[in-house]
Amino acid sequence: MSLRLASSSERALPRIARLVAGIWLLGFIAWGQQSTSSWQEDVRRCAEAHDWDAAMSIVDREIARSPNDMDVRAWRAKVLTWSGKLADAEIEYHEILTLAPNDADDWMGLATVYSREGRAQDALRALDRAVALDPKRADLRIARAGALRALGAREDAKLEFNRALDLDPMNAEGRKGLLSLRGEPRQELRVGVNTDLFNFADANQDEGISLISHWTSRWSSSVAADGYHWGDTNAEKFVASLTARLLGQGALTIGGAAAHDNGVIPKDEAFFGYDHGFRLPRAKFVRGLEIVYGQHWYWYTTARILTINEMALLYLPRDWIWSLGLTEARSHFSGTGVDWQPSGMTRLAFPITNWEGHRLGGNLFFAVGTENFAQVDQIGEFSSQTYGGGLRLQLTARQDITGFAAYQRRSQDRTESSFGFTYGIRF
């Protein structure tokens, strides 16, 4: 009897040992999963607190444990992106994608870096690769739609948002994206009046109306009609222009004007301009730069004028904008030779206050030798300094009023005081 009991105990021991070992193994696996989940949550908590050093130390510790784990390396790239170290994040993503080029999440992460650097075209190419790898992911489609929208390709963005909703009909980001493409005004109507007061002549007055039409994401046009009153002399002018937005390469504008001049304003005009903006994500003081170049021809009854205009706009923190412009004017009067005259201006625009959806902004400017060549009294042999400023009140999302005032001191003790306002509505 005792022998049989001993034999049963001996048979039970291996079973108990296997059971204990299994429980221990399951506990170890659960601990490992909890540990993995824990460090990722710790990184997120540090990121939410903007404690980037702590977040990076956690990630670097995990990389030391698993140096060949590309998922851990991807977390390092995320932390670099979140902390604003975009150049380092870009390098990290490139190294990851060299070793593991078929991960759609890493391509989307690289696209995020490009987007924050202002490289919208590169971001789109990275998202093209991500979507090609996993075309049935709605989040990738939405990210690609956002890149297309940033490039001004609104119709393509709309198509991509719809594809995302086909994959996930309840996706809130997709619905929000479609709404962002709807209802935006395509027309802008502006009316305005200006008055010029002189200490050596009668006052000048002019008024105008313009319509800017955005036909597609890349094409827009502008038409305007202006009336001038110089003493007892009246004149009228019609202006038209066409603008093409080149995908990721700025905008090109060409146009012209014809007038019933009465010897007061140019009889004909022609002009073109090129505008290109750049984001500067690594610069601490200047967030963006915009370069504008243009040429304008004026044909008066008694003179021909060519102006070459260059302007740089610096986008500063807190929505301040500093503009610097230079104009070279080539004048040729009947019976005289050709003469070149330089002039320059600087302008600082800034926000003033916001309240209940309204925004008020202002600007100050100073110009030396600057003429606008819109009227005969603005050309010829004189020097000038102009001081001025303006205000812009955003009444609603679609309506605004702008006003300005300026004082110009000319040679020969002549002065000019100008003021005016415009009202704009978008529909």
- Does the domain spanning 187-426 belong to CATH 3.30.1330.40? no
Comparison of pLDDT for 12 and 125, the residue scoring more: 125
Average pLDDT on 239-243 reads 98
Nearest to 387 by CA among 421, 423, 419: 419
Question: What is the structure's pLDDT at 335?
Answer: 67
Where would I find the beta strands (DSSP E) of 247-287? Answer: 250-260, 268-279
Under CATH, what is the fold of the domain 12-180? Answer: 1.25.40
Residue 290 neighbours by CB distance under 10 Å: 16
How far, in Å, CA of 145 to CA of 339, rounded?
52
Tens of pLDDT along 123-138? 999 999 999 999 999 9
Average pLDDT in the chain: 88
Joined together, the tokens standing for residue 308 give: 């070459």
How far, in Å, CA of 150 to CA of 148, rounded?
5
Question: What is the structure's pLDDT at 210?
Answer: 98
> Which of 14-18, 381-385, 405-409 holds the top average pLDDT?
405-409
Domain ranges of the chain: 12-180, 187-426
C-alpha 143: how far from chain center: 17
Question: What is the structure's pLDDT at 341?
Answer: 87
How far, in Å, CA of 425 to CA of 427, rounded?
7
Nearest to 147 by CA among 176, 127, 172, 174: 127
Residue listed under structure tokens 């490289």: 119
